[in-house]
Amino acid sequence: MAEVSSISRVGKTEPFFLQVARGQVAYHKTIFKFGFNPDIDDQIETVWSHGGLYSYLSNAAQLSISSSSANDTSNGTGARTVSIFGLDANYNEIDEDITLSGQTAVTSTKSYLRIFRITVRSAGSGGANAGVIYAGTGTVTAGVPANVYATVEIGDNQTSMCLWTVPAGYTAFLVGTDVTVATTQSNKYCKVSLVARPFGEVFQVKDRFLRSEGVLSVRYVTPFRFNEKTDIEYRGIGDSASADIGMSAGLDLIYIKNDPLV
């Protein structure tokens, strides 16, 4: 069915961000990056399901896509096919589809400098990935690569990693964010940091919150601006080795082509 034209084209109003999401504003794109880390203590960790501080690829590489379960395969009961999304050596957006082969790694056709999302596209009778799906490099043992750059937790059918890199030729604007912190421990808190690394520089704190429990949602009146090739992520650190903090975070971004004529 054809896309219905925006009502703003006939003299009425419609929210700008709805028009962008519908693909009706040229050279504008949106992305919502969310992540979850189930256990943060007194070491800085990125908000992603694999845990620990995220390590970025330094050079573009073909990735090994595998699962911890033999049931995630082309004719298995778990996940059968996935799509992977990221950036190439020149920071241009790329993606491809992969047919899984259980714990045996399948090598991506394209080379990735960044990978920021994996989505399960089809599955067997289980309806979801039976094991943890990995994207990484190095030796793969029982479906787990030596260097992990993205994971899909069991049953999620999509990555949960609150990090993203601005593609080449675009400028990104962070319009909103949300953070949830929870722990079963008493009198524990988490220092939450929004950090960004401009191209060729180091990670810098852009916003920071202290939370013991609860949800924080922020809409920025003046959106944060991030230039092309900037890495953006959420990090957290608890106040003790027994903090046992669970943390989720989301980034609501719009990115706009720098030169529409190119």
pLDDT tens, residue by residue, 217-239: 999 999 999 999 999 999 999 99
pLDDT for 108 beyond 60: yes
Q: What pLDDT does 5 receive? A: 60
The pTM score is 0.91
Q: What pLDDT does 1 receive? A: 47
Highest-scoring range by mean pLDDT, 5-19, 23-37, 107-121, 185-199: 107-121
Structural domain includes residue 14: no
What's the CA gap between 2 and 51, in Å, rounded?
43
What's the CA gap between 91 and 55, in Å, rounded?
17
Least confident span in 157-161, 164-168, 239-243:
239-243
In sequence order, what are the residues at sequence separation of 6 or more whose Cβ sits closer than 8 angstroms to the Cβ of residue 137?
57, 61, 63, 64, 145, 146, 147, 149
Q: What pLDDT does 3 receive? A: 55
Q: Kindly state whether residues 42 and 71 are assigned to the same domain.
A: no
Structural domain containing residue 125: 61-152
Q: What pLDDT does 17 receive? A: 84
Buried/exposed code over 147-166 (b: 16+ C-beta within 10 A; e: otherwise):
ebbbbbbbebbbbbbbbbbb
Task: Look over the chain and give the mean of its residue pLDDT values, rounded to a whole number.
Answer: 93
What's the CA gap between 257 and 116, in Å, rounded?
20
Question: Which of these three, 100, 129, 152, is where a domain ends?
Answer: 152
Q: Kindly state whether residues 40 and 87 are assigned to the same domain.
A: no
How many domains in the chain? Answer: 2
